[in-house]
Amino acid sequence: MAAAVRTSVWLDGKTTRSRKTSQPATGLDRQKITEATVRLLDAEGAAKFSMRRLAADLGVTAMSVYWYVDTKDDLLELALDQAMGEVVLPDESVDDWRTHVRQLAVNYRKLLVTHPWVSPLVGEFLNVGPNAQLFSTAVMNVMKASGLSPRHQAGGLAAVFQFVYGFGTVEGHFLDRCARAGMTQDEYFARAMSAVSLNPGLDAMMEQSRDLMEARGGETVEEMRDRDFDFALEVLFAGIEAMGGRPGPSTP
């Protein structure tokens, strides 16, 4: 007989486990537990999150949570999909596909930055909860409108959204490090740069970095990152058009 492999809460999990009694003892609830999880992950980070910590936050014993959720991983999947629901999807009845892609890209980036714990989970789990599926559908629809041939849509989609995933992931982690170290982004950046420059035998590396910094002008770290993100999106749009996508409204 086939091995009982667990794939996801959404696929193998028991249905909702919602409360059956009208007079609850503690007022607990899958939704409430998920919300508390997201709140704790935001506030204290994934490293500090635990079932016991969560239970304490809910004013309940550690094991009560297990009535509503099978494992910690299941709970993380629920939190992941909850967060995915924050990505606002474009209204496809207006504007062109570039605007839609940009909106999705910007909003997906925002999700990864405001919830740095999300990106490891996206990699780790199948991410097929209801909100994730709405997001996927929106992404696929928007690529359909790109003018790329069906054969090429998946590749174009990957180019754009894996880029955003990578970009938002390192950005989110960096912001997280800054916050936990109690520094601004620019302070942390300067500190890391100067520490690196103290290392021996890295003249070539440092030269590169310095050149790049100067070329970027005197902006803040955040401004540079925003500009890099915007330019990368322009590269992707131009590339999709060159590979058979619908031309933009104005390509001067």
Name which of residues 102 to 141 contact a copy of itself (CB under 8 A): 119-120, 122-124, 126, 128, 133-134, 136-137, 140-141
- Under the binding rule (CB under 7 A), the answer on residue 175 touching DNA is no
Nearer to a copy of itself, 28 or 77 (CB): 77
- Under the binding rule (CB under 8 A), the answer on residue 215 touching a copy of itself is yes
Residues 45-64: x where in contact with DNA by CB under 7 A, - otherwise, as a string: ---xxxxxx------xxxxx
Q: Which of 163, 175, 184, 246 binds a copy of itself (CB under 8 A)?
A: 163
Taking a C-beta distance cutoff of 8 angstroms, is the pair 101, 53 a contact?
no
Taking a C-beta distance cutoff of 8 angstroms, is the pair 77, 230 a contact?
no
Nearer to a copy of itself, 68 or 117 (CB): 117
Q: Which of 50, 71, 162, 220 binds a copy of itself (CB under 8 A)?
A: 162
Torsion of CA 48, 54, 59, 64, to 10 degrees: -140
> Which span (25-33, 50-58, 95-103, 201-209) binds a copy of itself, by CB under 8 A?
201-209
210 torsion bin: left (phi>0), alpha (psi -120 to 50), beta (else): alpha
Residue 241 contact partner, candidates DNA, a copy of itself, none, CB within 5 to 8 A by sort of partner: a copy of itself
Buried residues in 145-155 as b, exposed as e (16+ CB within 10 A): bbbbeeebbee
* Torsion angles phi and psi, residue 17, rounded to 5: 55, 45
Q: Taking CA 166 as the corner, what is the angle to CA 164 and CA 168, rounded to the nearest 5 degrees? A: 65
Nearer to a copy of itself, 86 or 176 (CB): 176
